[in-house]
Amino acid sequence: MTETTKAVFRIVINGSIDAVWRELTKQGEPQAAVFNAWLHAQSLAVGQKMQMTTKGRTHVMVVGTVTAFDPPNRFAHTFKFTQLDDPECEVVYDLKQLPAGVECTLTVDRMPVGTKTAKSMQDGGHKILALLKAIVETGKVPFGTRLMYAMMDKMLFMLPKSLRSENWPL
C-alpha cells in the first residue's frame, strides 16, 4: 500500500465568493489559475468524470472524478496526472465568506509520498492560490505568468503522444 500525506494551502481573496467559484469551476475557457488548463466534464456533479486539457483539447493533462460539488462552497475531485504512473489523490477547494473577503482553502489529500505527483502538488498549491487571488482581485494574469503560458502553448508539440486526447476519452 502506498504511503500518503495531505497538504493544505490557504489564502484570503478580496472578491466575491461567486467570482472565486467561477474561476475554479468554469468550463469552455482556460483556467488561468490552474496553469491555463481547460476543465471539461459532461456535468460537474458527484460521480462525473472530468479532465484538465490543453487549449483545443489536444492533450489531457489530468483526469479525475468529481467527489463533491456544493456551489459556491466546495468543489472536489480525484486527480491523476496522465503522464505519471502515480496513484491518484484528491483535490478539494473550500470557500468561506469572511468580512475581509473569501477564504480559499486548497487541500490535496491522499498524496502519494515521494512521488512526482506529490512534488508537483506541493509546488503548485501556493502558485494556484496566488494566481487565483491575482485574477479575482485584478482581473489579470501577471505578466510573467502570461509569458510562461505563451511558451507552454508553443511547446505542445513536445508532449508525449500518450497524452493525446484520443487516449483519454471523457
Q: Residue 161 corresponds to which cell in the numbers above?
A: 503522444
Average pLDDT on 151-155 reads: 86
pLDDT-derived band at 1 (thresholds 50, 70, 90) equals low
pLDDT band, very low/low/confident/very high, at 154 (cuts 50, 70, 90): confident
Alpha helix positions (H), 31-142: 116-138
Parallel, antiparallel or unpaired: strands 60-70 and 49-53: antiparallel
- At 170 the pLDDT is 84
Q: Which helix (H) or strand (E) holds 101?
A: strand 101-112
Grid coordinates 467559484 are at which residue?
A: 21
Q: What is the pLDDT of residue 99?
A: 95
> If you average pLDDT over residues 117-125, what whole number do you get?
93
User: What is the chain's mean pLDDT, rounded?
Assistant: 94
Residue 100 Cα to chain centre, angstroms: 24
Please list the residues that pair with 105 across neighbouring strands: 10, 94
Percent of the chain with pLDDT over 90: 81
**So where are the chain's domains?**
4-154
Q: What gap in Å lies between CA 14 and CA 102, rounded to an integer?
A: 6
What percent of the chain shows pLDDT beyond 70? 99
Is residue 26 within 8 Å of residue 14, measured between CB atoms?
A: no
Position 73 pLDDT exceeds 90: yes
pLDDT at 26: 96
Query: Quick one: cell of 78?
Result: 480525484
Q: How confident is the model at residue 2 (pLDDT cuts 50, 70, 90)?
A: confident
Quickly list H helices, the chain.
Answer: 17-25, 116-138, 143-154
Query: Can you name the CATH fold of 4-154?
Result: Alpha-D-Glucose-1,6-Bisphosphate; Chain A, domain 4 (3.30.530)
Burial 20-53 (b: 16+ CB within 10 A, else e): bbebbbeeeebbbbbbbbbbbbeeeeeebbbbbb
Q: 12-68 pLDDT, tens per residue?
A: 999 999 999 999 999 989 999 998 999 999 999 999 999 999 988 899 999 999 999
